[in-house]
Amino acid sequence: MAGIKVFGHPASTATRRVLIALHEKDLDFELVHVELKDGEHKKEPFLSRNPFGKVPAFEDGDFKLFESRAITQYIAHEYADKGNQLLSPGSKSMAILAMGMEIEAHEFDSVASKLGWEQIFKNFFGLTTDQTVVKEEEVKLGKVLDNYEARLGESKYMASDHFTLVDLHHIPVIQYLLGTPTKKLFEERPHVSAWVADITSRPSSQKILV
């Protein structure tokens, strides 16, 4: 049976989310480059892998999947006995983990990704940063991080006292924002700052930097 393949771009935060999960599990994989600048993700053969035209797409032998957070959950469950444990056993712990993943996707990433787009990826595409949008989104992110600061005052990581998918899902966009003035929002909050330093220094986090 064929091995694991990730179809994506190494600079894409969603692609990086999957790559970190694979590294956490010490799994061998092939990254198949999809050139976003050329619009390869909006054409065949990529559309046969994800009809919504977004990276990454994923294959594990005959099993095919897209949506990065679904892929990381598959990796965590399918390879539970490999590498680092990314889940929390027990129904209540799993519910907290699921809640954390929802918060990351809908409260954190919706804002943080806009800041990443304005300050980093617009330059990638030759566009100009809108500082008004940056200021508006930083206010929103600050409110999210205030809640994170309270949560991280109670536990070392977002969903438990050990690193899980909830923490993992945050890493790629945080790595980008640490290279922008938005970095101050993380540094101003001691628990958040310690958490960010912890999760971004993991070997898996370092391996995906390009």
**Domains and their CATH numbers in the chain:** 4-79 (3.40.30.10), 91-208 (1.20.1050.10)
CA distances from 144 to 60, 135, 149 (A): 35, 15, 9
The reported pLDDT for the residue numbered 124 is: 80
Q: What angle do helix axes 13-24 and 68-78 make, rounded to 10 degrees?
A: 10
pLDDT per residue, tens digit, the chain (210 aa), is 479 999 999 999 999 999 999 999 999 999 999 998 888 999 999 999 999 999 999 999 999 999 999 999 999 999 999 999 999 999 999 999 999 999 999 999 999 999 999 999 998 888 999 999 999 999 999 999 999 999 999 999 999 999 999 999 999 999 999 999 999 999 999 999 999 999 999 999 999 986
pLDDT in tens, 130-151: 999 999 999 999 999 999 999 9
The reported pLDDT for the residue numbered 87 is: 97
The reported pLDDT for the residue numbered 1 is: 45
Residue 47's Cβ-count burial label (10 Å; 0-12, 13-18, 19+) is: middle
- The encoded tokens of residue 168 equal 């993992």
